[in-house]
Amino acid sequence: MAVDMHEVRNYFIQLQESICARLEAFEPTMRFLREDIETPGGGLSRPRVIAGGEVIEKAAVQFTHSIGAALPPSATERNPHLAGRPFQAAAISLIVHPLNPYVPTTHMNLRYFVVDGVDGTWYFGGGFDLTPFYANRQDIVHWHRTAAAAAGEHYPAMKAACDDYFYLPHRQEPRGVGGVFFDDWTTGGDAASFALVQRIGDAFLPAYVPIVERRKDQPYRERERNWQCYRRGRYAEFNLAIDRGTRYGLQSGRRIESVLASLPPVVTWEYQRAIPHGSPEAALMDALTPRDWLANAD
Amino acid sequence: MAVDMHEVRNYFIQLQESICARLEAFEPTMRFLREDIETPGGGLSRPRVIAGGEVIEKAAVQFTHSIGAALPPSATERNPHLAGRPFQAAAISLIVHPLNPYVPTTHMNLRYFVVDGVDGTWYFGGGFDLTPFYANRQDIVHWHRTAAAAAGEHYPAMKAACDDYFYLPHRQEPRGVGGVFFDDWTTGGDAASFALVQRIGDAFLPAYVPIVERRKDQPYRERERNWQCYRRGRYAEFNLAIDRGTRYGLQSGRRIESVLASLPPVVTWEYQRAIPHGSPEAALMDALTPRDWLANAD
């Protein structure tokens, strides 16, 4: 039996509120631009975007409840029998691009799909992942420890799925240091699935906020800023060329400014940029190789 | 009968040389980074990239001769019977990202495909297009007049194909003011096709250089630079999410730094940026609507 859409919707909206409130607490004056847009047929879009802050250069925390006449192809690649069916989808999706290069970029997405008229066809998907510009073992271990506590027995599989998904094949490079990722999730039935999704959603702030607190005032110079803007190019490449969520957004006719609010505020592309051997930038590249961050953590 | 690959290859390499030499003439000190990379099986890659110039912020003028065991799916979307066949492809591909926001970005691509073992399966493709940040009618008319002289009777169809191809459906926005575009081109047979490709290739510098000369010293401020970086976001979106050439490059296992050398040096993404009514920025948006630039040109 599917989880009631209103329950999921309410949870996602409440989570969006608490995440926006906590991120805003980092900012002395900047506030999220808040909009509530009702879409034809009972859908709702609640874009929340902040830019130009002292800690957050740009962040988008979006909620969408879509009611659609026909699932687009990109949403049904692995479930082709569902193509063209009417559906409902609720999703919270966020990205944070911090100003300080020592604070990692992060992304979270939680979503719930119900396909109307197909008995028992519903699933959850989502996860969160971390994309540092400099590798701090303490931060990465904390991130994975919090993720593991939330995902419980599912952590190893979700961690592997995250490493698998956030990968740029054309660069042969992971996007970041991972986290958890799941899709087509119905494990244990409706109540257990929704409870797991809530544990993961509730774990986002405890996973991310301590890292921001620890790094946001760390001094940096042009070199680190430059590296950050360069590495953000990988983020743009992933989102525009690879990410299923973005491709779905581009095809779905959703409000394009919401779909692409995830793109970094400033990006540079540099040809054949060299990474000096033994540098902190080289250490990041090394840290991107997937590993068990909780083994011998301390 | 197919055109001899060596003839096409020699023409593309000579064109690459003359374009690089002319672009370098704008620069007091910066020079193209030149590499010649032989690829397994007799292929050749000649990347040429310049960055940080006084006129050219970044430009890539690439030549590639690929000899491939199997055509990738993205190259055969409209010719599915060719998928998996061995092939040869020669291409010159260039992009210029000027520093001054009054100088338009431009792109040219010319390519020749021969599918081995399929009698008579060869074609040319390519074209050039212009992406201004500010609309100067004089520049755009000159661009299209030069394109029309080169393409002759084929100009109307090639101009329409260009408007059609360089379009961002998710933005419902043309990428620029167009030019000429053609694909699967065999019209008139091998000699006539190759002659047309050469006329178009030879027209690139006469079409672009006078515009650069006219605008490169035009004073600009932060406002114009900011708009340029913002508009370059559309370029990155097109290249990464839409362009068939880039998708082919990402799939083909070609040297990724060459494939993505086309990406702009600095890009910004800004949420819901407003374009003031009656501003020069609004005038650009108006100029993007396809039209016959040669009607009543003067």
Q: Which residues of A are catalytic?
A: 107
A 182-241 near B (Cβ less than 8 A):
229, 233, 236-237, 240-241
Question: Can you give the pLDDT of all 298 residues of chain A as single tens digits?
Answer: 788 999 999 999 999 999 999 999 999 999 999 999 998 788 999 999 999 999 999 999 999 998 988 876 766 777 777 778 888 999 999 999 999 999 999 999 999 999 876 667 899 999 999 999 999 999 999 999 999 999 999 999 999 999 999 999 999 999 999 999 999 999 999 999 999 999 999 999 999 999 999 999 999 999 999 999 999 999 999 999 999 888 888 887 778 999 999 999 999 999 999 999 999 999 999 999 999 999 976 6
Interchain CB distance below 8 Å, B260 and A237:
yes
pLDDT tens-digit map of B94-113: 999 999 999 999 999 999 99
Give A-chain residues touching B250 at CB under 8 angstroms. Answer: 169-170, 241
- The closest CB to that of A241, out of B49, B229, B241, belongs to B241
Q: Which residues of A touch B257 (CB under 8 A)?
A: 271-272
Mean confidence (pLDDT) of chain B: 94
Share of chain B above pLDDT 70, in %: 97
- Chain A residue with the nearest C-alpha to that of B47: A271
Give the containing element (helix H, strand E) for A51. strand A48-51
Q: Answer yes or no: is pLDDT of B78 > 90.
A: no
Reported as a pLDDT band with limits 50, 70 and 90, residue B298 is low
Check CB contact under 8 Å for B272 and A265: no
* pLDDT at residue A90, rounded to an integer: 96
Q: pLDDT confidence of B83, banded at 50, 70, 90?
A: confident
Residues of chain B with C-beta less than 8 angstroms from the C-beta of A233: 263
A259/B contact by beta carbon, under 8 A: yes
Report residue B227's pLDDT band, with 50, 70 and 90 as the boundaries. very high
Q: Does A168 lie at the interface with B, CB-CB under 8 angstroms?
A: no
Probe site for chain A from B170, B228, B243, B248 (most A CB atoms < 10 A)? B170
Residue B260 at interface with chain A, using a CB cutoff of 8 Å: yes
- From the candidates B97, B107, B144, B154, which is the catalytic residue? B107
A49 touches chain B (CB under 8 A): yes
- Lowest mean pLDDT: which of A60-69, B25-34, B78-87, B106-115? B78-87
Q: Where are the domains of chain B?
A: 5-287
- Give the pLDDT band (50/70/90) at residue B248: confident
Tell me, what's the ipTM?
Answer: 0.92
Is B189 a residue whose pLDDT tops 90?
Answer: yes
**CB nearest A237 (choices: B171, B240, B247):** B240
User: Where does A5-287 sit in CATH, by number?
Assistant: 3.40.1500.10
Q: What integer is the mean pLDDT of B228-254?
A: 91
Three-class SS state of B93 = strand
Which residues, 6+ apart, have CB-to-CB distance to A111 below 8 Å? A89, A90, A91, A92, A93, A124, A125, A126
Q: How many CB atoms lie within 10 A of CB B246?
A: 21
pLDDT at A118: 66
Size of interface A-B (CB pairs under 8 A): 81
- Distance between A251 CA and the closest CA of chain B, angstroms: 7
Nearest CA in chain B to A253: B170
- B263 vs A60, A265, A269: nearest CB: A269
Average pLDDT over residues B124-151: 98
pLDDT at B21: 98
Task: Supply the DSSP string of chain B, one letter for each residue.
Answer: -PPPHHHHHHHHHHHHHHHHHHHHTT-SS---EE--EEETTTEEEE-EEEES-SSEEEEEEEEEEEEESS--GGG-TT-GGGTT--EEEEEEEEEEEESSTTSPEEEEEEEEEEETTSTT-EEEEEEEEEE-SS--HHHHHHHHHHHHHHHGGGHHHHHHHHHHHSEETTTTEESSSEEEEEEEE-TTHHHHHHHHHHHHHHHHHHHHHHHHHHHTT----HHHHHHHHHHHHHHHHIIIII-HHHHHHHHHT--HHHHGGGS-SEEE--TT----TTSHHHHHHHHTS---TTTT--
- Residue A265 contacts B, CB cutoff 8 Å: yes
**Nearest CA distance, A250 vs chain B (angstrom):** 6
Q: What is the model's pLDDT at position B80?
A: 77
pLDDT at residue B47 greater than cutoff 90: yes
pLDDT, one tens digit per residue, over B199-224 is: 999 999 999 999 999 999 999 999 99
Residue A39 burial (CB count, 10 A): 15
Q: What is the pTM of this model?
A: 0.93
pLDDT at A9: 96
pLDDT surpasses 90 at B281:
yes
Residue of A240, A256, A266 lying closest to B240 (CB–CB)? A240
Mutate to test the interface with A, among B30, B270, B273, B275 (most CBs of A within 10 A): B270
List the beta bridge partners of residue A33. Answer: A49
Residue of A259, A272, A273 to mutate, interface with B, max B Cβ within 10 Å? A272
Q: Which residue has the higher pLDDT, B249 or B26?
A: B26
- Closest chain B residue to A254 measured between Cα atoms? B170
